[in-house]
Amino acid sequence: MKKKPTHSQKSPAQAMVEFALVLPILLLLIYGLLEVGRLLFIYSSVVSAARQASRYGSTTGVNAAGTFRYRDCDGMRDAAQRVGFIDNFADADIEIWHDEGEGVNQVSYCPPGQAIDATFTPTTGNINRVRVRVHTQYTPIVPILPLEPFEIESVSARTILVSVPIIITAAPQGWNPNNSPIPPDTATATITLTPSETPTASPTGTATNTPTATRTPTITRTPTITFTPSKTGTPTKTGTPTSTGTATGTALACDVRHGDLKTSPFGMTIFNNNATVVVHITQIQVYWNPSSPAGQKLKTINLGGTLIWSSETTGSPLVVSSFIGDVSIAAGGNKLLQVGFEKNYKSTGIEQIIVDFAENGCPTLDSNDNSQLQ
């Protein structure tokens, strides 16, 4: 009988040779994956660092030392450096400047080593942006791959929010039969009681023993009363409550007054005589003489010692509705509204300040209205 040929098994030496041939390729692939992952991580860190720094510099408010965040150079650089914990960013790797749009009025500030840069003051209207460029050098750990060292950079820009106006309106008073919202500062429908033959009663109405009779319906001993709204252009005001069922809107009481307008310094004190309501200024109008003296410029407005507007203008009147500081006056409190000029201002008799408030029912304060004096 013939025996079938058998295949001989591979020897250990042959397996060792095959593994030695494959091992360099395997190690090269593993190292390539690690190096590409490190490259992607560094790129992500650069992008996040630029984004965090611009976000810090564009937000409203001040830091712990009372410095505006768009002037806090150290704060913006710290926000960027917290992200790059593997590839640490030096101050020279972080460039900061501001502009008014892509390629418009670009100005560099916050040079390396400077903690605060007070040379920059944003204009009103939220048109300025803070731009941050972060860059770093990528170098492979072991230069065995065809990857040459190169620079990774990212630029992020965000609008500086110097003012975020908040308008507060009080809820309308009274009852609306259509269950629809009543817009503020509009006339509220007047509701009267009319006898009707419809056997439907409103759960909020109160029947009386002496209903008002009209020409058409027949009066019975127990008439069914429904509400029929009658809208008028002018809200009905009643001095005392009556039994006719008429509902009227009541404006919120708001007692604000002002002191005498002075010109040295230029301003007046605003008093909030409300016991529980905090009032907020929404607009300030300043009438002044730009030629007193010649070349005069209006530069700042302060409320209670806090800067709420800063710029330069030579026009009158100045109307300001966007603010950079606290424009609230606490209940029962008062604050001095002071206007700052470039030169010593001289009174000419045309000076006037008009102040509007966000709260419904608060009157517009006029420095020329003596009936509003405190």
User: How confident is the model over 130-152, as a mean pLDDT?
Assistant: 84
98-126 average pLDDT score: 84
For residue 1, how many other CB atoms are within 10 A of its CB?
A: 2
Q: What percent of the chain has pLDDT above 70?
A: 72
| Residue ranges in the chain assigned as alpha helix (H) | 12-58, 73-81
* Residue 294 contacts residue 275 (beta carbons within 8 Å): no
Confidence of residue 301 (pLDDT cuts 50, 70, 90): very high
103: left (phi over 0), alpha (psi -120 to 50) or beta: left
Burial of 204 (0-12, 13-18, 19+ CB in 10 A): exposed
Residue 114 has pLDDT above 50, yes or no: yes
The predicted model gives 126-136 an average pLDDT of 90
Structure token pair of residue 335? 């604050």
- Pick the residue with more confidence: 146 or 69? 69
pLDDT digits (tens, 9 = 90+) for 273-288: 999 999 999 999 999 9
Answer yes or no: are the C-beta atoms of 343 and 298 closer than 8 Å. Answer: no
What is the C-alpha separation between 182 and 188, in angstroms, rounded?
A: 7
Q: Residue 100 pLDDT > 70, yes or no?
A: yes
Cα(136)–Cα(93) distance, integer angstroms: 6
Alpha-carbon distances, residue 132 vs 19, 39, 163, 285 (angstroms) = 51, 21, 21, 36
What is the mean predicted confidence (pLDDT) over 100-110?
Answer: 82
Q: What are phi and psi of 245, to 5 degrees?
A: 80, 20
Cβ contact 136:42 at 8 Å: yes
Task: Output the pLDDT for position 217.
Answer: 47
Q: pLDDT tens for residues 48-93?
A: 999 999 999 998 788 888 889 889 999 999 999 988 766 778 888 9
Residue pair 271/374 in contact by the 8 Å Cβ criterion:
yes
The span from the CA of 96 to the CA of 76, in Å, is: 9
Q: Where in the chain is the domain with CATH 2.60.40?
A: 256-372
153, β-bridge pairs: 135
Concatenating the DSSP letter of every residue in 10-76 gives PPHHHHHHHHHHHHHHHHHHHHHHHHHHHHHHHHHHHHHHHHHHHHHHHSSSB-TTS-BGGGBHHHH
CA distance 323 to 320: 8
Q: Please give the average per-residue pLDDT across 322-351, as a whole number.
A: 91
pLDDT at 298 > cutoff 80: yes
Cα 25 versus chain centre, distance: 57
The overall average pLDDT reported for the chain is 78
DSSP 8-state symbol, 254: -
* Per-residue b or e along 220-238, where b marks 16 or more CB atoms closer than 10 Å to that residue's CB: eeebbbbbeeeeeeeebee
Range 173-182, long-range pairs (CB < 8 A, 24+ positions): 173/249, 173/250, 173/251, 174/247, 174/248, 174/249, 174/250, 175/204, 175/247, 177/227, 177/229, 178/229, 182/249
The per-residue pLDDT for 9 is 62
- Written out in words, the top-level CATH class of the domain with range 256-372 is mainly beta
Task: Give the pLDDT confidence score for residue 55 in this predicted structure.
Answer: 93
